[in-house]
Amino acid sequence: MPVETREISVTAKEDCGIVDVTEMVSEEVKNSKIRNGTVTVFCIGSTGVITTMEFETNLSKDVSETLEKLIPLNKDYHHHKT
């Protein structure tokens, strides 16, 4: 089974930025020589996350606002000390 590795670099505009990577991943798949299989997407880092959701502007705002309430950016977290 052939395997290709590609890298996409993404920088969010905000601390809790939500970025739609669908087109970037689709473009990499189109540019590959593989026509059947699966795609694995991951991010490096302890506070990054990849999820699936409908990319709709107001939903993105809702998610960002909810995360800010649950996990405020200005809190002094223990992992900041490591």
**Does 27 fall in a domain?**
yes
**Does 71 fall in a domain?**
yes
For residue 72, the enclosing domain spans 22-81
pLDDT tens digits, residue range 23-46? 999 999 999 989 999 999 998 877
Q: How many domains does the chain have?
A: 1
Predicted pLDDT at 5: 94
**Does 8 fall in a domain?**
no
pLDDT tens digits, residue range 41-69? 998 877 788 888 888 889 988 998 998 89
**Does 31 fall in a domain?**
yes
With beta carbons less than 8 A apart as the criterion, state whether 29 and 39 touch.
yes
**Does 59 fall in a domain?**
yes
Predicted pLDDT at 12: 78
* CA dist 9 → 21, 24, 41 (Å): 10, 10, 12
